[in-house]
Amino acid sequence: MSQTKPAPTLSSELLLGIDIGTSGIRGVIVEKAPNTNPAPAPLASASVSMPFPHRQGPNSEQTADLWVQTLNQLFDALSETGYFPHVTRMALDATSSTVLLGSRQRQAWTQALMYDDKRATEAAERIRQLAPSDTAAHGASSTLAKVMWLEKHALNGRQPHEAVIFHQLDWVNAYLTGRCGITDENNALKLGYDPIHQAWPNWLNDLTGLPLPEVVPPGTPIGGILPDVASRYGFNPELTVYSGTTDSIAAFLASGASEIGDAVTSLGSTIALKLLSDKPVFAPEYGIYSHRLWNQWLVGGASNAGGAVLLKHFPLETLKTLIPRLQTDKPTGLDYYPLASPGERFPINDPTLAPQIDPRPDSDERFLQGLLEGLVEIEALGYARLHELGGPEAKRIFTTGGGIQNDAWMTLRQQRFDGEIIPMKNADAALGVTHLLQADDNKPHGD
Asked, for residue 445, whether it belongs to a domain, the answer is: no
Asked, for residue 65, whether it belongs to a domain, the answer is: yes
pLDDT at residue 260 in the model = 96
List Cβ neighbours of 329 (8 Å cut-off, separation of 6 or more).
none
Contact (CB, 8 A) for 211 and 180: no
Q: At what angle do helices 407-416 and 364-388 cross, to 10 degrees?
A: 40
Q: Judge if 197 and 296 occupy the same domain.
A: no
The values of phi and psi at residue 99, to 5°, are -150, 150
Q: Judge if 122 and 27 occupy the same domain.
A: yes
Query: What pLDDT, in 10s, does the model give residues 217-271?
Result: 999 999 999 999 999 999 999 999 999 999 888 888 888 888 999 999 988 889 9
Q: Could you tell me the residue range of the domain that residue 271 belongs to?
A: 257-426
Of 299, 112, 60, 110, give the one whose Cα is nearest residue 189. 299
Q: Judge if 15 and 87 occupy the same domain.
A: yes
Which stretches of the chain score pLDDT less than 70?
1-11, 34-40, 425-427, 440-447
pLDDT at residue 3 in the model = 46
Asked, for residue 443, whether it belongs to a domain, the answer is: no
Asked, for residue 126, whether it belongs to a domain, the answer is: yes
Q: Judge if 7 and 149 occupy the same domain.
A: yes
What separation, in Å, do the N-terminal and C-terminal C-alpha atoms of the chain show?
41
- Work out how many domains the chain is built from and give that number: 2
Q: Judge if 64 and 175 occupy the same domain.
A: yes
Q: What is the CATH number of the domain that holds 299?
A: 3.30.420.40
Q: Judge if 244 and 352 occupy the same domain.
A: no
Residue 331: asked if its preceding bond is cis (omega within 30°), the reply is no
CA angle at residue 414 from 410 to 416, to 5 degrees?
115
Q: Judge if 232 and 274 occupy the same domain.
A: no
Q: Judge if 231 and 362 occupy the same domain.
A: no
Q: Judge if 409 and 298 occupy the same domain.
A: yes
Asked, for residue 131, whether it belongs to a domain, the answer is: yes
For residue 314, the tally of other CB atoms under 10 A from its CB is 18
pLDDT at residue 221 in the model = 97
User: Which amino acid does the sequence have at 433?
Assistant: V
Q: Judge if 180 and 297 occupy the same domain.
A: no
Continuous segment of H or E residues that includes residue 297: strand 296-303
Q: For the whole model, what pTM was predicted?
A: 0.80
Strand partners, 15: 30, 89
Asked, for residue 446, whether it belongs to a domain, the answer is: no
Asked, for residue 442, whether it belongs to a domain, the answer is: no
Contact (CB, 8 A) for 166 and 101: yes
Q: Judge if 167 and 93 occupy the same domain.
A: yes
Looking at residue 116, the DSSP 8-state letter turns out to be T
Contact (CB, 8 A) for 222 and 214: no
Q: Judge if 300 and 400 occupy the same domain.
A: yes
Asked, for residue 447, whether it belongs to a domain, the answer is: no
